[in-house]
Amino acid sequence: MTMNQQRREFLKKAGLGALAGLGAAAGLFPAFALEKTDPSSFTQKPTPGKVRWGMLIDTRKCKQNCTECIVRCHHDHNVPDLSGTKNEVKWIWKSGYEEAFPTASQQFQTDEVKHRKVLTLCNHCAEAPCTRACPTEATFKRWDGIVSMDYHRCIGCRFCMAACPYGSRSFNWEDPRPHVRELTAAYPTRMRGVVEKCNFCSERLVKGDLPACVDSCPEKALIFGDLNDPNSEIRRMLAANQTMQRKPELGTLPSLFYII
């Protein structure tokens, strides 16, 4: 354990202690362990449409009983654990091949493929039906192709959930905080009554890091990159492999691709 981690543990344990209002105590812990961004790495205002982040998921490499990416994502983003209830909230999870690709050809497919678990998350569609349905632009298309959520603005009407053909959106049916297993200080939680979903780790991208799921995959089954750059790794992989998108017939143009 490094000194910094120790200090973080210590601070976590001290937690609400400083609520006691002990001025002296505050002096003892001058710097809270908030991760900071290097502002030199970004420009004043990005050009919309220049970058389009996308992901390629190699389902052949993805280990069937591995949940590293899910655990890491849900921990880093303070996603509440309400699994198995109707109030479930999830950003990334595994679905059966047949359920994730219901309109893909299923006939005479091998059992292995039919029962293969594939990762599903927000598709960050280029033509996102959710952003079209949102009455307040609380969910909107960012300059870099990410379908983002403005939790301060969401009115909780759930039109985006009805509009999403991929079941990628979750609503906070109750206060999520008591259900977050271990709070991560670097990222906020959500409040009751707003919709949430995968943000493609925009908070990590701004620091030049890969998304948490990509970073945590022990099999390197997830490739992340700029779909608008013909020389990016993801574009080279897309050119070299037969890939699929979920429900392409709906014209949503997902930014997620799968190798089956």
CB-based contacts of 63, cutoff 8 Å, min separation 6: 218, 219
Q: Which is nearer to other proteins, 77 or 223 (CB)?
A: 77
Round to whole Å and give the CA distance between 148 and 7: 33
Task: For the CB of residue 21, give the shortest distance to other proteins in the complex, in Å.
Answer: 6
Q: Which of 52, 5, 10 is nearest to 224 (CA)?
A: 52
Report the SS3 class of residue 186. coil
Q: Which is nearer to other proteins, 125 or 238 (CB)?
A: 125
Task: For the CB of residue 191, give the shortest distance to other proteins in the complex, in Å.
Answer: 4
Report the SS3 class of residue 97. helix
Q: Which is nearer to other proteins, 38 or 240 (CB)?
A: 38
Task: For the CB of residue 78, give the shortest distance to other proteins in the complex, in Å.
Answer: 8
Q: Which is nearer to other proteins, 40 or 110 (CB)?
A: 40
Query: C-alpha distances in angstroms, 209 versus 4, 215, 257?
Result: 20, 8, 21
Q: Which is nearer to other proteins, 187 or 237 (CB)?
A: 187
Task: For the CB of residue 35, give the shortest distance to other proteins in the complex, in Å.
Answer: 5
Question: What letter does residue 187 receive in the DSSP assignment?
Answer: S
Task: For the CB of residue 185, give the shortest distance to other proteins in the complex, in Å.
Answer: 5
Task: For the CB of residue 253, give the shortest distance to other proteins in the complex, in Å.
Answer: 12
Question: What letter does residue 244 receive in the DSSP assignment?
Answer: B
Which residues on adjacent β-strands are paired with residue 57?
222, 258
Round to whole Å and give the CA distance between 256 and 120: 9
Q: Which is nearer to other proteins, 75 or 238 (CB)?
A: 75
Task: For the CB of residue 245, give the shortest distance to other proteins in the complex, in Å.
Answer: 14
Q: Which is nearer to other proteins, 31 or 239 (CB)?
A: 31
**Where in the chain does DSSP place strands (E)?**
53-58, 92-96, 117-121, 139-141, 147-149, 170-171, 195-196, 222-226, 256-259
